[in-house]
Structure 1
Amino acid sequence: MHPAFSVVFFTTATGAGYGLLALLGVLAGQGFVSPDFWLGLVSMGLALGLISAGLLSSAGHLGRPERAWRAFSQWRSSWLSREGVASVATFVPAGLFAVGWVFFGRTTGWVAVAGLLAAVGAVATVCTTGMIYASLKPIAQWHSRFTLPGYLIFSAMSGSVILNALLQGFAVGSKTMVAFSLLLTFFGWGWKLATWRHNDRLEIPTNANTATGLAGGTVRSLEWPHTEENYLLKEMGFRIARKHSAKLRRITQVLAFALPVLLLIAAFALPWPYAAVLSALATIAQFAGMLVERWLFFAEAKHTVTLYYGR
């Protein structure tokens, strides 16, 4: 599939933003995060900013962005529409949570309820985003048991690393939060390796023989439908060389997982402010690595429509 940067940034930014929002809604609402004004302003501003930036960037992939509002009407049958409804609905409790925290200086009572509702909305929205891809049967790499959990794991992982950096930056971090973000990063690394292993061993059940019902021999086309690249081949027949794929996988592992793990281990062992600097570097490295991971997520996917073109 063609990896448009607008969609790559959308899935990376919103995943991190919703992960951060969910953790803030649960931890701050339960008293594990101090209701400090500046911490609340920066944390909620960053979470909602990442979500908004991601949602706005996704409009860049639409042929007619001015008609995007029509997607909300198809929520009964479309995961894309459900994602839009869930994302907008989540802004309501998230906004109330932010107002209560920043302007009223409290994270208890109705503010805690709003935070929990925002966390539920964040998880639901990430699920709908993952299901957009997991529900596509023509793309075997996406239509698997790894896609939806992967979206949730990477969202929680990114959000935890960002939250740890914020807490360390405001000198209210804890060893527990560092260990939590470190554990999620290890978990995300393992899940990504398992996903790649599954996709590399994947045998596509559909081929030219099964598509035509002529299973008695080898079916091949005498004349291809097009002599030049067309829309389908550009968007759904995008191909990446094996050597480039292997190189980008290594870059993903270094930036998104290995480097953050090393930086978080060092942050766990060192005092503030060294821990704050290392935590911030881990956040930057992981976000860059997840951009590469998302690019590969699209580039390595193969649509069965390419069988029509002999691929």
Structure 2
Amino acid sequence: MHPAPSVIIFTTLSGLGFGLLVFLGLGMPAVTGWTAFAFFTIAYLLAVVGLSASTFHLGHPERALKAFTQWRSSWLSREGVCSVAALIVMAIYGAGLVFFDTVLAPIGWLGAALSLGTVYTTSMIYTQMKTVPRWNMPWTPAKFLTLSLAGGALMAGQVAVAIVLLTLAGGITLATWAIGDTAFARSGTDMETATGLGRIGRVRAFEPPHTGTNYLTREFIYVVGRKHVQKLRVIATLLAFVLPVLLLLLPFSHALAVLAILSHVAGVAVMRWLFFAEAEHVVGLYYGKR
């Protein structure tokens, strides 16, 4: 699928922001006053900027508020409801820490759960899509959740936890790539099933349905070279997981911590680009692209 900058910014920044809110809600680190204000400011900037970026990919951004009414059937709507609830609850919790030096632990736990729930609902927007076999598997939400928590632990300064979560997220990411590479073939979807003509024999495209590009070809058919994929996977793995872990294993310094965070964010951004660029939508069968 077309890796639009808006969805890359959205999935990268919102995951980091809500991941940091999870740890702040759990009291990790245990901060109050202006230090807490700084942590919450960073978390909210990441989460809100990320969520705002997602609206730019909508056909009618002015109708975004209507999405909140479809929570019974839409994961996008559930994400919106869950994100707003998380931000409101964490604002109450943060106000207690910043202005009153008071830890409202139950509210923090609720905010942490809602923040994690927001990441889960985001992942389910993609996981539910049977038309994209690479996404339609349990590994997709596992990847989103572990990446968010790993980034959150890293930004919260939880070194030991971050090392464990970065290692876990790296392993799950490798698994999603390995399993995803064969997901389309294992789905059983091909030109015969797509057209319903399999009963008469082998089907092939004689000519493409359109002489030029259209919405489907722009949004759902994006072909990236295999050799480029492998290079980008190595770059993403090194930046998002390997380098941050190595930096965290060194004697602590703020400079190394910042470098680890920047490396991780860059690696996740590359990973998000691959997440969309590698997604093979079944509609490509009609255009001879699968």
Q: TM-score range by the shorter chain?
A: over 0.9
Structure 2: segments with no counterpart, 5+ residues: none
State which of 134, 139, 143 in structure 1 corresponds to 2:127. 134
Aligned CA RMSD, in angstroms, stands at: 1.3
Per-residue deviation, 1:123: 1.1
> Shift of residue 64 of structure 1?
1.6
Match of 2:40 in 1: 44
Q: 1:86 aligns with which of 72, 76, 82?
A: 82
Is 1:236 matched with 2:220?
A: yes
- Cα distance in 2 between the residues matched to 1:64 and 1:201: 35
Distance in 1 (alpha carbons) for counterparts of 2:31 and 2:241: 31
Query: Hey, what does 2:265 align to over in structure 1?
Result: 287
Q: Please state whether the residue corresponding to 1:290 is helix, strand or coil.
A: helix
Confirm or deny: 8 A CA contact 2:13 2:50 kept in the other structure. Answer: yes
Change (3 A) 1:9 1:216: same
Q: Are the equivalent residues in 2 in contact too, given 1:127–1:151 (CA < 8 A)?
A: yes
- Conserved? CA contact 1:35–1:106, under 8 Å: no
Letter in 2 for 1:199: G
Map 1:1-311 → 2, pairs under 5 A: 1-28=1-28, 33-107=29-103, 111-164=104-157, 177-202=158-183, 203=185, 204-211=187-194, 212-266=196-250, 270=251, 274-311=252-289
1: CA distance, partners of 2:31 / 2:138? 39
Distance in 2 between the 1:215 and 1:154 partners?
44
Code of the aligned partner of 1:17 = G
Q: Could you give the per-residue CA deviations for residues 34-69 of structure 1, whole angstroms, max 9, x where no partner exists?
A: 333122011111111111110111111112211111
* 1:248-291 superposed Cα distances (whole Å, 9 cap, x missing partner): 1111011101110110111xxx2xxx522211110010001100
Aligned partners of 1:245, 1:94: CA distance in 2, in Å? Answer: 38
Shift of 1:222: 2.7
Say whether the 8 Å CA contact 2:135–2:180 is kept in structure 1. Answer: no
Shift of 1:216: 4.8
How many residues are matched?
Answer: 286
Tell me the distance in 1 between the aligned counterparts of 2:211 and 2:173.
Answer: 37
SS at match of 2:16: helix
CA contact (8 A) 1:252 1:289 kept: yes
Q: Aligned partners of 2:31, 2:126: CA distance in 1, in Å?
A: 37
CA offset digits 1:186-237 (Å, max 9, x no partner): 1111111111110123324111112214245210133321122221111100
Please give the alpha-carbon distance, in whole angstroms, between the structure 1 residues aligned to 2:219 and 2:60: 17
Question: 1:169 aligns to what?
Answer: none
**In the aligned structure 2, how far is the partner of 1:263 from the partner of 1:115?**
30
Task: Report the Cα offset of residue 301 of structure 1.
Answer: 0.3
Between the aligned partners of 1:198 and 1:130, the Cα distance in structure 2 is: 17
Q: Which runs of 5+ in 1 are unaligned?
A: 165-176
Paired residues of 2:222 and 2:277 also in contact (CA < 8 A): yes
Contact 1:20–1:158 (8 Å) recurs in 2: yes
* Identity within the alignment, %: 44
Whichever residue aligns with residue 268 of structure 2, its letter is M
2:15 aligned counterpart, secondary structure: helix
Amino acid at match of 1:218: R
2:114 partner amino acid: G
